[in-house]
Chain A
Amino acid sequence: MSTTNATTLYEKLWQRHIVDDTPGETPLLYVDRHLIHEVTSPQAFANLKFHNRPVRRPDKTIATMDHNISTRSVAIDAAGEGAANQLRTLEKNCEDFGIKLFGMGHKNQGIVHVMGPELGITQPGQIIVCGDSHTATHGAVGALAFGIGTSEVEHVLATQTLRQTKAKTMKIEVRGQVAPGISAKDIILAIIGKTGSAGATGYVVEYCGDAITALSMEERMTICNMSIEFGAKAGLIAPDQTTFDYLQHKEYAPKLADWDAAVANWKTLKTDDEATFDAELVLEAKDIKAQVTWGTTPGQVTTIDAEVPSPDDFTEQVEKDSCIKALAYMGLEAGTKITDIEINKVFIGSCTNSRIEDLRAAASVVSEFAKQGKHVSDKVDAIVVPGSYRVREQAEQEGLAQIFTNAGFEWRLPGCSMCLGMNDDKLAEGDRCASTSNRNFEGRQGRGSRTHLVSPEMAAAAAIAGRFVDLTNFNQA
């Protein structure tokens, strides 16, 4: 095989960013964009100040407020004193170090992984880091993007570089086309169901195949966003015309001659035909059905037409034990039909599913039910939290907000909200939620609460029916 110089997209991105590769040291890579928010940055800035070190490239650092903010008010203290202290600390740090901040109510404010791409800050070929594990989202444009801890945030602020050990490469190919009504969320949950919650630990995953290239940019973001949920360091999709069309004319995208130069460069960002991966996985798109998680890791997932599994369905002892623990926490019995599970809360939002296309998809299901005179069940509280002010404004202009509020959903201000419940948007003990977010861990949305991860369409239908609905049998809802 003549594979001498053939490389994967990940290897190309890696190679282009090596600043220093001294033998015996972990390679030092250049960071093109550093996104920061209020929760994982204060200790990093405090250490910089302690050592009297400047931020090396404030022009490559962009801050927003998202994790801790109220979705009912733009007041900085609306989500409590602790949150306000972190938000004010971020304001002060950005002011002290000359960093651009999209603060409360700013037109560019939003969840960091919604804000970056929609402004064109996120671009192909970059290394993008953020003190948040869902940074993998930005891999959708063909950037190497991954979450880091606060010590690494400090390192990037001070040096604009990061030490990284090289990951292994995994190719995940989704062949053919998905059935109508199957969303990007269903594709990624199906992938995680197949690999398990740690199936890609130590790997950078490249998604490819017809079902992936057919996706819009926002759908690709949903796919890459959840790469971390099966352990991947990052998720990548090679940039193509869909990517370039999405980015052109965005506020921070290159302009005029720079745009042409950038696109010419970005077109070289793809895996060579003869390159090999350390691992490969193939899924047939036509086999993917609507997904619902039943357990307490994203890998504990099944299809809408299935039943809650039993510990006996697993061969490994660790998986049996995890199933027993998950069923006890989730208050579910093995053999229960997924469509018989009743929910009392619905959350449509998060960096996974809060973009305009997600809201359109949810609203179209709500509209269909509205034609039958149906609205949000009396037993359900349902909230819709757009990912950014831009998304919120567009949704209002398109009439989506009205569709939601007419049907009984609450229409909130942007933020991370109930995905992690750092603000007052949290579930009570025993609540069961259909959520478009990314994690169903114990207590994730509130102590003792139960989360089922689904697509925006499935969450919208669940809000109305009060239980999960197989939308392929829409009229039985």
Chain B
Amino acid sequence: MDKFSTHSGLVVPLDIANVDTDAIIPKQFLQKTERVGFGQHAFHDWRYLDGEGTQPNPDFILNAPQYQGASILLARENFGCGSSREHAPWALQEFGFKVIIAPSFADIFYANCINIGILPIKLANEEINELFEACNGNANSLTVDLLNNKVTHDNKCYTFSLDKFHQYCLENGVDSVGWTLKKLDAIETFETKLANWQ
């Protein structure tokens, strides 16, 4: 996993609540056995007017010319709800997103983001509203400083909080399996206490 410290990039405002992981990556693209190849299908049913993906939908925000190259996704409440498919954050990451900012995230999606190195930032509703007002229709950039837990836009600064261990893992690109394997003794000790029917 790549290390994350600071990131500045273009913001695209996706003004829809309860965006589910079926919308982020529809099921017809889940048949791969590799981690790559999902980005081109991100938001497929919204991005394209046809099932084959040949006619871009001009009304979908991610297709708007001023947002091309965006790396920060501004979203509404309950982002990433539904299916546990990690293919959804894989698709967003490959599409180019490094940061997602929303008032709330679904739990599994949030954990998946942390585990693959996307930074999910929760801000208060009023702050999210301010950002939507600033970004709607306009090409705007933000700077995200993970080390100091700050998002800066023009002269405004928003503070976010993050679980300390999540922060450590993102900052250091921790291999979480390798980290836990250093605790094998504790795992073995735990297992000796299990009854044989467990």
Give the interface of A toward B (CB within 8 A): 19-20, 24-26, 28, 30, 32, 39-40, 42-43, 46-47, 51, 53, 56, 68, 80, 82-83, 85-86, 89, 125-126, 131-133, 146-152, 154-155, 158-161, 163, 165, 167, 197-198, 201-202, 228, 231, 233, 254, 258-259, 261-262, 265, 297, 318, 321-322, 325, 420-422, 439, 441-444, 447-448
Contact = CB atoms under 8 A, between A and B. Distances in A.
B187 A19 contact: yes
B33 A43 contact: yes
Contacts of A443: 22-23, 26, 45
Given A231-B78, A233-B107, A131 B84 contact: yes
A46 B115 CA distance: 16
A155 B177 contact: yes
Nearest to B33: A42
B55 to A, nearest CB: 13
B178 to A, nearest CB: 8
Contacts of A321: 17
Please tell me the size bucket of the interface on B: 35 or more
Interface of B: 16-18, 20, 22-23, 26-28, 30-35, 45, 51, 76-78, 81-87, 89, 104-108, 111-112, 115-116, 163-166, 168, 176-178, 180-181, 183, 186-187, 190-191, 195-198
23 contacts: A19-B186, A39-B85, A40-B86, A43-B34, A46-B33, A146-B108, A148-B111, A151-B86, A159-B180, A159-B181, A163-B180, A197-B81, A198-B18, A201-B78, A228-B108, A231-B107, A258-B195, A258-B196, A261-B195, A265-B195, A318-B17, A422-B30, A442-B45
Contacts of B186: 19-20, 28
A126 B177 CA distance: 22
Nearest to A420: B27
A25 B23 contact: no
A318 B77 contact: yes
A321 B18 CA distance: 11
Given A25-B165, A26-B165, A151-B112, A439 B77 contact: no
A203 B3 CA distance: 30
Contact of B187 (A160, A163, A447): A160
Contacts of A161: 180, 183, 187
A133 B76 contact: no
Nearest to B35: A43
Contacts of A24: 164-165, 168
Contacts of B191: 30, 160
